Structure 1
Amino acid sequence: MSDLILHHYATSPFSEKIRLVLGYKKLAWRSVIVPQIMPKPDVQALTGGYRKTPFLQVGADIYCDSALICDVLEHLQPEPYLYPEPSKGLARTLAQWADDTLFWTGMAHSFSPKGVEDLFAKAPPGAAQAFADDRRAMSTNMVRLRPADATGAYKSYLRRLSDMLDDTPYLLGEVPTIADFACYHPLWFTRKRTPSMSGVLQLTPAVLDWMDRMAAIGHGTMETTDAATAIAHAAASVPHTRLTDSTFQDEHGIALGSRVSITSQSFGPEPTEGELMAATRTHYTLRRTDPRAGTLHVHFPRIGYVLRQVQA
């Protein structure tokens, strides 16, 4: 049985990014389906507050944010590489743009009224409003694009991606990199989850062909499980990070062992509190204890997250 447990749900675009990375690396993994909206008691038993989707569990280690999850999977299964030389820096930079600017532009376009109808066509009454209320609560620090403004920007971004595919099958060359997986998932959401809004993709046939190549990667070998099993597995495990950098990098004047909170810089304001175990060049690690899940290490990337000391 695989020790990789992905907590996700089917329509989550960032989850699709990770599912494809698992497929690209031919990894076996276990699937736990989480609720799309609050409350999420089983999620927060593991994360301590963080409630964005997906997160990766490896024993008693919880990895938050898809960017950090990709780093973990690269350490566990280096080949095929997500960050190949000599384009590693370019691939990371393009992926960061895609996970932020391209993603939110694509979402604003896709969540036009027709797209919302697609998403909730088979949902019970009130589901669309509950989802909107939930995401509004997660967006308190954000300025959202209006759909018409987003559509214009989306078209421009798609043309730029198309230009990158003039001479190569993937955005940066002959093989996929992290940039491809990050650029793919918001477009996947438009194409698969809001088909009424997918006409925008028809303007760039090269992008559609690239999307077909990405989709053909698949999701690896998946086995279903449930949250109770995952929580019990965490309780029976000892934290042991799969991240390789460990040198303390102090940018805040906060010593290791301090009580701290970590919060997303923008989307998803819920804090996670714990004891600061690591603050490296790339990530933070908190130690926390949960009555059901036991002692856990919860990991966050530095970029996109805010570290604060908790005053006694």
Structure 2
Amino acid sequence: MQDLILHHYPTSPFSEKIRLILGYKQLAWKSVIIPSIMPKPDVLALTGGYRKTPFLQVGADIYCDTALICDVLERRQPSPTLYPTHSKGVARVLAQWADTTLFWAAMAYNLSPRGAAAMFAGAPPEVAKAFAADRGAMSTGMTRLRPGDATAAYKSYLRRLANMLESQPFLLGEAPTVADFAAYHPLWFSRVRNAVMGDILNATPAVLAWMDRLAALGHGSFDKIDSGDAIAVAAASQPLALGDEPFQDEHGIALGSRVSIAAETFGTEPTEGELVAATRMHYTLRRTDERAGTVHVHFPRIGYVLRALDAA
């Protein structure tokens, strides 16, 4: 069985979501630390354009977006499950809310003037400017909450999470689901990455206790490798055979077409390639890179836009 290779960096909140799931499932993995801002030449050699963090590599297969990565890890190690039968639908819906609405409220709060000053305290001014320019380029056209509005929303969301934890240890019952890991990581950023902003959590002690339970799961066992090694793994591998899930055509774009896939909002840099799968839940592109060789790059359907490229 090929190694799980997570491309991430330590302070990435979405990476913490996946690191904890790896710990929950007690999976061994390889760690590749990538830059937090562009340029990311080794990332693009594998993804072809996608530059958000993290992404998961299994040989010559590249899985983008943590929603899809969660499904890949579930297939690799079905127990303990992220999607209990009795709450599978609500767990996915709650996770999607946490990865979007909760995340953006939390980050607008975390990166308010006070939070940004604390994050970059002691760093040269150009570091903060480079980070702001990078994230600005990724969020072109997005509506961002102002700090006051974000703080009010964040407090409300924390109270709602606390309500869910009044009589049970995790959001949907006695064991964590994908929803717990999705709701945890924006709060982790407040508590751990930018601790000066963590006082907002003090009003919801049930949330803090829940965070402690999740943090205790750890990150599993991992070894560090560099990005060049990961690219060499892709070049020496062949993409896994595609499953027999039926083609689901929602766009009038045939398999074998040249297409681009990009996120709907944040980080909309496209990946181009040959469409080789479009199933109920994901897309797969085949692309070739001079360093990584032929790879399959996988995306979830939800949150991504598929477009045909002109034959010319």
Query: What range is the shorter-chain TM-score in?
Result: over 0.9
Identity %: 72
Structure 2 CA distance, aligned partners of 1:245 and 1:129? 48
CA contact (8 A) 2:5 2:31 kept: yes
Is 1:260 aligned to 2:259, yes or no? Answer: yes
Structure 1 CA distance, aligned partners of 2:183 and 2:122? 28
Structure 2 CA distance, aligned partners of 1:229 and 1:285? 24
AA aligned opposite 1:247: P
Are residues 232 and 137 of structure 1, via their aligned partners in 2, closer, same or farther at CA, if it must alter by over 3 Å? Answer: same
Are residues 159 and 244 of structure 1, via their aligned partners in 2, closer, same or farther at CA, if it must alter by over 3 Å? Answer: farther
CA contact (8 A) 2:62 2:298 kept: yes
SS at match of 2:275: strand
Structure 2 CA distance, aligned partners of 1:15 and 1:114? 24
1:117 equivalent in structure 2: 117
Is 1:37 aligned to 2:76, yes or no? Answer: no
2:249 equivalent in structure 1: 250
For 1:1-312, list aligned pairs within 5 A.
Answer: 3-240=3-240, 246-312=245-311
AA aligned opposite 1:117: A
Structure 1 CA distance, aligned partners of 2:79 and 2:60? 25
Structure 1 CA distance, aligned partners of 2:219 and 2:115? 25
Deviation, 1:125, is 3.3
SS at match of 1:167: coil
Cα deviation digits, residues 19-72 of structure 1 (max 9, x gap): 000000000000001111111000000000000000000000000000000000
Structure 1 CA distance, aligned partners of 2:106 and 2:269? 24
CA contact (8 A) 1:259 1:310 kept: yes
CA contact (8 A) 2:2 2:59 kept: no
CA contact (8 A) 2:13 2:185 kept: yes
- Alignment coverage as a number of residue pairs: 311
CA contact (8 A) 1:56 1:69 kept: yes
- Give the gaps of 5 or more residues in structure 2: none
Supply the RMSD in Å over aligned alpha carbons. 1.2
CA contact (8 A) 1:19 1:219 kept: yes
Structure 1 CA distance, aligned partners of 2:112 and 2:57? 34
Deviation, 1:222, is 1.0
Structure 1 CA distance, aligned partners of 2:258 and 2:216? 45
Deviation, 1:113, is 1.6
Are residues 296 and 128 of structure 1, via their aligned partners in 2, closer, same or farther at CA, if it must alter by over 3 Å? Answer: same
Deviation, 1:117, is 2.2
Taking structure 2 as the reference length, the TM-score comes to 0.98
Deviation, 1:116, is 1.2
Structure 1 CA distance, aligned partners of 2:270 and 2:130? 22
AA aligned opposite 1:200: I
CA contact (8 A) 1:118 1:193 kept: no
CA contact (8 A) 1:32 1:225 kept: yes
Deviation, 1:245, is 6.5
Taking structure 1 as the reference length, the TM-score comes to 0.98
AA aligned opposite 1:258: S
